[in-house]
């Protein structure tokens, strides 16, 4: 059985990333337990083992890990607030790379299955969804 150090070195090598000590501990902090973590949370956890680490290093490497598919961004966020006047129920297609948002029509959600899976008390009246993918330009550039 591989140690977690070896696992990371392996992944880093496959992604063409240098296996630095900082990257190791950041990666292990995220993988230690399932969950959604913010840069500040990871910073706090990692500093216990590596007090000299910089917050900028956390940000740099999280971005790198997400780009290389070692981690997933929980909720691809546009840089600014966006509002729309179209109140008709409709969905959005979001490019995970450039964050562009376009409307998408159509009924592709099985509401019965969805509400069966939702936790008790979660209000799904008018469930709107965002579908993630790569827009034409970004998928061409890749």
Partner DNA sequence: TTCTTGGATGAGAATCATTATAATCCAGGA
Partner DNA sequence: TCCTGGATTATAATGATTCTCATCCAAGAA
Residue 3 near which of a second copy, DNA, none (CB within 5-8 Å, type-dependent):
none
| Residue 25, contacted partner among a second copy, DNA, none, CB below 5-8 A by kind | none
- Look up residue 93 and give its DSSP letter: E
Burial of 64 from C-beta contacts in 10 A (0-12 / 13-18 / 19+) = middle
Please answer whether residues 23 and 61 qualify as being in contact, where contact means their C-beta atoms are separated by less than 8 angstroms: yes
CB of 105 to DNA, least distance (A): 26
Name which of DNA, a second copy, none residue 31 binds, using a CB cut-off of 5 to 8 Å depending on partner kind.
a second copy
What does the binding site for DNA look like in residue numbers (CB under 7 A)?
12, 17-23, 38-40, 50, 52-57, 59-61, 63, 79-81
């Amino acid at each position: 059985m591989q140690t977690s150090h070896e696992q990371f070195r392996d992944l880093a090598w496959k992604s063409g990333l240098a296996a630095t000590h900082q990257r190791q501990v950041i990666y292990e902090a995220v993988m230690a337990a399932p969950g959604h973590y913010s840069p500040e949370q990871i910073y706090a956890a990692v500093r216990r083992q590596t007090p000299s680490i910089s917050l900028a290093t956390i940000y740099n490497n999280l971005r790198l890990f997400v780009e290389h598919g070692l981690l997933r961004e929980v909720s691809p966020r546009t840089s600014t607030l966006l509002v729309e006047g179209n109140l008709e129920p409709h969905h959005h297609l979001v490019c995970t790379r450039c964050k562009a948002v376009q409307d998408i029509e159509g009924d592709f959600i099985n509401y019965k299955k969805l509400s069966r899976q939702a936790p008790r008390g979660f209000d799904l009246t008018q469930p709107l969804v965002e579908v993630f993918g790569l827009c034409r330009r970004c998928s061409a550039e890749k």
